[in-house]
């Protein structure tokens, strides 16, 4: 009889611990869940050089996949797993590694008589 009571007490204690850990996991999950707009703003603050240009091109060319990547990067930043700035080159390499070839608009400019002109104007 006493053994049954001790066994029940141990089970109840274990159940309380499980409930606490589940509640803690749920709170952490809610804390890290962001909507896309907030995640985009967070990632945008960590971009350097041409990072924003690369990110916007990726969102145009691969909208669904790029949104998922932005969410992952934002969650890593929030957890402190990533610090520092993300350059356009780093972002481009990430997308290339994932099989998404981002095309950027490229301009070739030349300098003549104190002003920059496009190569298109030179060829005219």
Give the pLDDT confidence of 6-28 residue by residue, as tens digits: 888 899 999 999 999 988 887 76
Q: What is the pLDDT of residue 113?
A: 84
Interval 31-82: pLDDT, tens: 555 688 888 999 999 999 899 999 999 999 999 999 999 999 998 888 888 8
Residue 2: its pLDDT value, please? 72
> How many whole angstroms separate alpha carbon 109 and alpha carbon 115?
10
CA distances from 64 to 39, 89, 113 (A): 14, 21, 46
CB 58 within 8 A of CB 102: yes
- Write down the pLDDT at residue 37: 85
Helix H or strand E encompassing 109: strand 109-112
Rounded Cα distance, 57 and 101, in Å: 10
């Amino acid at each position: 009889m006493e053994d049954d009571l001790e066994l029940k007490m141990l089970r109840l204690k274990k159940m309380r611990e499980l409930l606490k850990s589940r509640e803690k996991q749920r709170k952490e999950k809610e804390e890290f869940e962001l909507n896309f707009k907030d995640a985009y703003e967070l990632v945008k603050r960590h971009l350097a050089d041409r990072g924003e240009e690369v990110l916007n091109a990726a969102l145009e060319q691969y909208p669904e996949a790029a949104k998922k990547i932005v969410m992952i990067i934002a969650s890593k930043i929030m957890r402190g797993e990533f610090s520092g700035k993300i350059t356009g080159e780093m972002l481009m390499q990430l997308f290339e590694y994932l099989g998404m070839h981002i095309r950027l608009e490229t301009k070739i400019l030349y300098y003549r008589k104190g002003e920059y002109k496009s190569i298109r104007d030179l060829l005219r």
